[in-house]
Amino acid sequence: MEKLVCREFRPGRRFVGRLPHGKDLIQSVENFCKENSIVMATFSLIGAVSSATVGAYDQKQQVYVTFKENLPLEIVICAGNVSLKDGNPVVHAHILLGDEQGKTIGGHLFSETLLFAGEIEIQELIGNPMERASDAVTGLMLWKN
């Protein structure tokens, strides 16, 4: 059995802010991280989207199955992290969304999720940054050991 492998980080800068209306959620967070030299972080956000692309990983076929909702949805919670892939900060996030009747959908967050309004908290992590690479066992882009 494999063991849990972790790295130790210390807290860096902490940012709290408002996300841009009408822009892609993932790209907005990645751009902010690039502009502020953030290579490792955790974040959470709340707000609403005008459309969302979410999905789940098909473990047998080793591909993401995605779907797009083209309607206004409340972000119940969105949590994720930022780490490096090919030397650039990339977002990995999951999201739970709710409609006006209280029905929810959720999963892995993908681009082409357009923000209506949002508030984010980003906690920078200082230490040897984790880097994503293809994992032969799962087919996912996971952190290297």
In a domain, 19, yes or no: yes
In a domain, 98, yes or no: yes
Cβ atoms 33, 41 nearer than 8 A: yes
In a domain, 137, yes or no: no
Cβ atoms 112, 51 nearer than 8 A: yes
pLDDT in tens, 120-133: 999 999 999 999 99
Q: Which of 86, 105, 106, 98 is nearest to 30 (CA)?
A: 86
In a domain, 131, yes or no: no
Residue-number span of the structural domain to which 115 is assigned: 11-126
pLDDT value, residue 57: 97
Which residue has better confidence, 90 or 145?
90
In a domain, 135, yes or no: no
pLDDT in tens, 38-75: 999 999 999 999 999 999 999 999 999 999 999 999 99
pLDDT value, residue 3: 85
Q: Which of 30, 17, 22 is nearest to 112 (CA)?
A: 22
